[in-house]
Amino acid sequence: MLEGISAVLVGVGLLLGFMATGLPVFAAFLLINLIAITLIMGPVGYGMFANSLYETTTTQSLVTIPLFILMGEILFRSNSVEVLFRSIDTLVGRVRGRQYILSILLATIFSTLSGAAMGVAAMLGRSLLPGMVARGYDARLSAGTILAGASLAPLIPPSVLVIIIGTLANVSIAGLLIAGILPGLMFAAIFLAYCFGRCWIDPSLAPEEPEGAPRVTLGEKAWALIRIIPFSIIILMVMGLILMGIATPTEAGAMGVIGSLITAAVYRNLSVRMIGEALASSVKVSTMILFIMASSKLFSQLLAFTGGATAMTEWVVSMDQSRWVMLLLLMVLPFILCMFVDQIALMLIVIPIYLPIIDQLQFDPIWFWLLFLVNITVGGMTPPFGYTLFALKSAWDDATLGKVFSAAWPFVLLYVLGMVILALVPSLTTILPAML
């Protein structure tokens, strides 16, 4: 039986080979899992296979994903998002690339509301992205802004991953939650600056303003604000309930669906047919996402069973280097592993091994674990196996996997730039928790 690092290399190689043949992502994962179970455990392992699929697909926290997809479907089919497009266009004014601004802002807002990067990416990929492409905006840059903004979900509170890290690392959960606010806003600002820079260098990425377009009057801006008010119902129902401690993210997601129905009714586009179409589409996309998650979850379990992920982790952290070289190595490891291994599974393996190293190197725990959180978050949008990529691919009908990968890479590099800033300026992470 293959063990250790060799098991990781063989498993990943076979998986890439299956995907290269054009096999659907979830089918490639299922096939490699069945082969691995047969070779490693034999028929007795099929029970583990079934249990893993059942456990993942029945996880309560995953209910948030279909709820937010349904919310996006309702907003998309009721033209509510189009109303928001026009209102933001009016408020922003004659700025080239205004839809990129809208994409990043909406992705950041919904990331704050949901805490689920996959749900946000799928929702905006279904509701926002088609409108941007139809307006003449670059498809890859548009998709990249959605991926980048959605990937802020685990960073900006509320965040399930923060709770897991805080529990495993014995770090203040409240402090870690608050620590993500300033870095989250910083990343959003970096994404906006990048989009403005790209549009300035290559104006073809965003449609030109029509010649002689009239100036926006104060009355038009006021009317735009009024038209946005119904949309704020969703923010109040989702964000307000979570911040007040009244509802869990899943319950707040259900309230968000109700808010989207109310918004559709306000815009006079609520109908039984529209709701039926939204439900049917949500079921299709959610099923694909759950299949991918269940299959890849078992893949990460098999890597852990063979000792592959643990062997790679121990090999890196056992090196005798300076504390800053060790910081780089400790950050590179989850960055690479999260391309292949489930985020939660990786945390369960890595955090107990990292804890004594962090104490020995005397790193500030809030600062280090937030960097670690950003790392595993970026892994979710990094090719070839980032969950967020597959969520967007499932929701974006006209996309190929290659197009989604190419959309993600520039923003992956921007995340790396942001991590360097956070490493060099720890106060961005520690100033708010210090106020507790």
Query: pLDDT per residue over 402-423, tens digit each?
Result: 888 899 999 999 999 999 999 9
Structurally, the chain folds into a number of domains equal to: 2
* pTM for this entry: 0.68
Q: Give a yes or no: residue 423 inside a domain.
A: yes
Segment 91-115 mean pLDDT = 74
* Rounded CA separation 86/72 (Å): 17
- Same domain? For 230 and 256 the reply is yes
Among 251, 286, 321, give the residue marking a domain's end.
286
Q: Give a yes or no: residue 168 inside a domain.
A: no
Q: Give a yes or no: residue 402 inside a domain.
A: yes
The residue assigned the tokens 């946005």 is 228
- Same domain? For 147 and 79 the reply is yes
Which range is least confidently modeled, 261-275, 276-290, 301-315, 376-390? 301-315
Task: Determine contact, residues 144/408, Cβ cutoff 8 Å.
Answer: yes
76-98 pLDDT, tens digit per residue, is 777 776 677 677 777 776 677 77
- Same domain? For 263 and 302 the reply is no
* 154: phi then psi, degrees, rounded to nearest 5: -70, -15
- Same domain? For 88 and 234 the reply is yes
pLDDT band at 271 (very low <50, low <70, confident <90, very high): confident
Q: Give a yes or no: residue 102 inside a domain.
A: yes
Residue 304 tokens read as 């852990």
Residue 303 pLDDT: 66
Task: Determine contact, residues 223/35, Cβ cutoff 8 Å.
Answer: no
Task: Find the largest Cα–Cα distance for the chain.
Answer: 73
Residue 213 DSSP symbol: P
Q: Give a yes or no: residue 96 inside a domain.
A: yes
- Same domain? For 194 and 114 the reply is yes
Among 254, 270, 286, give the residue marking a domain's end.
286
* Rounded CA separation 120/40 (Å): 37
- Same domain? For 17 and 101 the reply is no
Parent domain of 81 = 60-161+173-206+215-286
- Same domain? For 38 and 151 the reply is no
Among 236, 263, 286, give the residue marking a domain's end.
286
Residue 153 tokens read as 């979900």
Q: Give a yes or no: residue 362 inside a domain.
A: yes
- Same domain? For 153 and 247 the reply is yes
Q: Give a yes or no: residue 135 inside a domain.
A: yes
List of long-range contacts for 241-245, beta carbons under 8 Å, 24+ apart: 242/113, 242/158
pLDDT band at 187 (very low <50, low <70, confident <90, very high): very high
- Same domain? For 92 and 186 the reply is yes
Q: Give a yes or no: residue 166 inside a domain.
A: no
- Same domain? For 185 and 71 the reply is yes
- Same domain? For 276 and 385 the reply is no
- Same domain? For 413 and 380 the reply is yes
Taking all residues of the chain, what is their mean pLDDT, rounded to a whole number?
79
